[in-house]
Amino acid sequence: MTAVDSQRVLVTAGAGGIGRSIAMAFASAGARVHACDIDANALDELRTQAPGITTSVCDIADRGAVQRMVQEATDALGGLDVLVNNAGIAGPTASVADMDPDAWEAVLRINLTGTFTVTQAAIPHLKKSAAGSIVVMSSLAGRFGYPNRSPYATTKWGLIGFTKTLARELGEFGIRVNAILPGAVDGPRLRQVFEGRASVSGRSMAQEEAAALANQSIKRFVDPADIAALVVFLASGAGRSISGQMIPIDGDSQAAS
């Protein structure tokens, strides 16, 4: 079985949010971690907090920057066992009828094409691993329709097709590929969403939160540490028979809210 403390891990968008929790969870388990992010200051802060983690500034929508970043990552790590394709942006809120086509394309460039570019550059390195693993960050929005968030939902559904195809292509090389689909994640961003909704609806923050939780069996939002633990498990030897799967982590949500 592959021990996490022998793994070499690349996390995209690893300086903030969920990616940071994932990078820290692998580092805490003893893995060697390289994080890339578009935000250089956040990467500096990450290195201060976790000096063992190496970093690259990279916009995953920039193909040349991705080639350089994957080279830096594999040089720093001495190879690659685990790729966590975490980077993704929320994109605009508008109906399809009113959608700005440039805003639509910007989301596809990062969420879909960026994930493709990073993965393509990483595959030759993962093929050299004894137990390669790729985790793709989809979303609850990759399982349901999501009114006024069409580019986001479209890319998160697209990543499921990407995951299932990659799993078929890479299985013979011992590389497993799985997608995870988090629901609403607890934290300041979610609070801002509720504030925004409350200011439009005239309802209180608590009412907006209750309305969102009404869609879930488990009445709390997802802790980023739980997502990180799932990614560490999937990439570990304990997950060695799991590939081509889409795994929700959302308190049994019945809608994208």
Ligand X SMILES: NC(=O)c1ccc[n+]([C@@H]2O[C@H](COP(=O)([O-])OP(=O)(O)OC[C@H]3O[C@@H](n4cnc5c(N)ncnc54)[C@H](O)[C@@H]3O)[C@@H](O)[C@H]2O)c1
Among 45, 59, 223, 226, binds ligand X (CB under 6 A): 59
Site for ligand X, residues 114 to 143, rule: CB under 6 A: 137, 139
Give yes or no for residue 110 binding ligand X (CB under 6 A): yes
Residue corresponding to tokens 């030897």:
237
Give yes or no for residue 89 binding ligand X (CB under 6 A): yes
Q: Which is nearer to ligand X, 86 or 133 (CB)?
A: 86
Please identify the residue of the shown chain whose CB is closest to the bound ligand X.
Answer: 17
Site for ligand X, residues 29 to 48, rule: CB under 6 A: 37-39, 42
CB neighbour class for 48 (10 Å; exposed up to 12, middle 13-18, buried from 19): exposed
Taking the C-alpha atoms of residue 6 and residue 135, their distance in angstroms, rounded to an integer, is 18
Supply φ then ψ for residue 86, to 5 degrees: -90, -30
Q: How far is the CB of 146 from ligand X (least distance, A)?
A: 11
Taking the C-alpha atoms of residue 186 and residue 221, their distance in angstroms, rounded to an integer, is 5
Among 4, 60, 77, 121, binds ligand X (CB under 6 A): 60
Nearest Cα residue to 122 out of 69, 160, 53: 69
From the candidates 26, 116, 144, 152, give the one annotated as an active-site residue.
152
Q: How far is the CB of 186 from ligand X (least distance, A)?
A: 8
Q: Is 146 a residue of the active site? A: no
Helix (H) or strand (E) holding 64: helix 63-77
Residue corresponding to tokens 């409350």:
198
Give yes or no for residue 92 binding ligand X (CB under 6 A): no
Dig out the tokens for 194 from the structure. 């509720």
Give yes or no for residue 225 binding ligand X (CB under 6 A): no
Positive or negative, the CA dihedral 8, 11, 16, 22 is negative
Give yes or no for residue 88 binding ligand X (CB under 6 A): yes
Q: Which is nearer to ligand X, 198 or 226 (CB)?
A: 226
Q: How far is the CB of 137 from ligand X (least distance, A)?
A: 4
Nearest Cα residue to 9 out of 234, 182, 203, 255: 234
Q: How far is the CB of 127 from ligand X (least distance, A)?
A: 24
Q: Collapsing DSSP states into helix, strand and coil, what is residue 248?
A: strand
Nearest Cα residue to 230 out of 183, 165, 162: 183
Site for ligand X, residues 185 to 204, rule: CB under 6 A: 185, 189
Taking the C-alpha atoms of residue 148 and residue 168, their distance in angstroms, rounded to an integer, is 33
Among 4, 10, 18, 166, binds ligand X (CB under 6 A): 18
Q: Which is nearer to ligand X, 2 or 149 (CB)?
A: 149
What positions carry a catalytic annotation?
A: 152
**Contacts with ligand X, residue ranges (CB under 6 A):** 13, 15-19, 37-39, 42, 58-61, 86-89, 110, 137, 139, 182, 184-185, 189
